[in-house]
Amino acid sequence: MTKSLLSKLNITEAPPKHPTDPLIQRQNKLIARLEVQREMARCLVENEEFKAFKYKYVIDQETGIKNKVRVPKQIKPWFYKIDEQYFTPIKYGSKSLELAKGLYAIAVKDSTALTGVYDVVIEAVKAGEFDSKLMAIKAVGKK
């Protein structure tokens, strides 16, 4: 009696490729946005121009073939300056997250401290300190 060729293999149920936990997805989205803001703050401190790009498909008029083209992407900074202080809210989508009861922004004395603020907030998101705030956000169009 011959054995099946497939019986020699370790056959299991395949786990999903990407985690579908909404909390992990929201954490990753917030961390990605915070890293962009940290880079914008670094460019402000070093007097560099911040440039972000995205990829877009454009159809060539002559050949009709789709080409992937890199185009500039406009990203607005979260931080702003009033008098001699910088303020930065932490946003998820277009909404500012409440950091403490009734408080929505972090204040720093100068622009050099902004990158450190974003580093601390990224670590706080990874540690789970924003979990309740992230899960309280409702998807657009849902009540």
Separation CA 16–CA 21 (nearest Å):
11
Confidence of residue 86 (pLDDT cuts 50, 70, 90): very high
Boundaries of every domain in the chain: 22-48+75-136
Mean pLDDT of the chain: 89
Separation CA 143–CA 140 (nearest Å):
8
Q: Residue 142's pLDDT is what? A: 58
Measure the N-to-C terminal CA separation of the chain; round to a whole number of Å: 63
pTM for this model (two decimals): 0.78
Residues whose CB falls within 8 Å of the CB of residue 140, separated by 6 or more in sequence, listed in order: 93
Confidence of residue 41 (pLDDT cuts 50, 70, 90): very high
Separation CA 141–CA 143 (nearest Å):
7
Separation CA 68–CA 111 (nearest Å):
36
Separation CA 30–CA 37 (nearest Å):
11
